[in-house]
Structure 1
Amino acid sequence: MTVPELRLLATPKAVPELRHHLREHGFDVQLCATELLANVIRHVGEGTPVTIRVIGAPGRGRTRVEVTDPDPRALPVLLCAGPAAESGRGMALLDALAVRWGVELAGDSKTVWCEVAD
């Protein structure tokens, strides 16, 4: 099943709402999608308009998660957070869960995507 495109504002309240929309998908898809949304909140700004797409159906191989925001300059960075760090693990978690991930740049936006195996 493909979840329709979701347009929402990147706010902390939107995180559980997104999880609810993705309830038919596995935990890894939900976690990756919410982590990408949380990155927009933290690095682009709370209230940023985003578009979220989940392409694929559970049990069909891979599911692609895409989050598009209007800031092509705020790129995700894979960090190596130390044990005492309070943040910086999001992309490492996504990197561990996803088969692959990347960024597609457009003139006035970017899409961060990942593919998760079923």
Structure 2
Amino acid sequence: MDGQSRFPRQRTSSGDAYRSGPARGPAAGSGTSTSTSTSTSTGADLPGAPAPGCALHRRLHLTLDPADLVAVGAVRHRLRTALSHWGVPELSDTAELLSSELVTNALLHTTKGAVFDAVLGSDSRLRIEVQDGASRLPGRRRDPEAEYATSGRGLLLVEALADSWGVQLRGDGKVTWFELATP
């Protein structure tokens, strides 16, 4: 399975605002489900169902309501459960921390909620995306007193702990993403 089919919503053309880590090829198509689901069953006996081991069987998709900060804990719990089920529990701590940073940012700084997607590719590389309805790019604090602030360090954590990360502008907002490789 190539990079295009693993992450169908990824766009790496000029739409990238920020990017770190290795570049990926452009993806075909885009699609967003509005339901909350975890695709972890095999389902290979169904017509048109993906084969076992396909990334579609290792996908967590959650839709979050605006300003629902309680949902951050639910995202962390569902992600930890999914990663354990997918056989990569060693990614849980870092994935939970970085996911909660991105989800919290999306819920605090936008008014349209967020969409959370986690996909474990066939190469055991985890990709987390958080889509929100704001087209404003995230930025670092420029305040000299930021060292003592109680917030504003989320993207520094993402930059320090993720293997790669970026922000992609879309017509309906942006997607902030990161990837983690299994150790």
Q: Which TM bucket (shorter chain)?
A: 0.7 to 0.9
SS at 1:72 equivalent: coil
Say whether 1:67 aligns with 2:123.
no
**Per-residue deviation, residues 67-103 of structure 1 (Å, max 9, x unmatched):** 0111112x12244774312211111011111011111
Partners of 2:168 and 2:147 lie apart in 1 by 31
Structure with greater contact order relative to length (CA < 8 Å, sep ≥ 6): 1
Partners of 2:172 and 2:69 lie apart in 1 by 24
SS at 1:83 equivalent: helix
Aligned-CA RMSD value: 2.1
**Per-residue deviation, residues 26-75 of structure 1 (Å, max 9, x unmatched):** 11111111110111122224xx3211110116x92x211000111112x1
Partner of 1:42: 108
What is the letter of the counterpart of residue 164 of structure 2?
R
Partner of 2:98: 32
SS at 2:61 equivalent: strand
Partner of 1:8: 64
TM-score (norm 2): 0.55
Structural mapping, 1:69-88, within 5 Å: 69-73=132-136, 75-79=137-141, 82-88=146-152
**Per-residue deviation, residues 3-27 of structure 1 (Å, max 9, x unmatched):** 3311121421101110111113311
What is the letter of the counterpart of residue 38 of structure 1?
T
Partners of 1:93 and 1:9 lie apart in 2 by 24
The number of aligned residues is 113
Partners of 2:131 and 2:149 lie apart in 1 by 27
Residues 79 and 91 in structure 1, CA contact (< 8 A), matched pair in contact too: no
The sequence identity of aligned pairs, in percent, is 35
Partner of 1:98: 162
Partner of 2:173: 109
Partners of 2:163 and 2:140 lie apart in 1 by 15
More strand per residue: 1
- Please tell me whether Structure 1 or Structure 2 has the larger radius of gyration of its CA atoms: 2
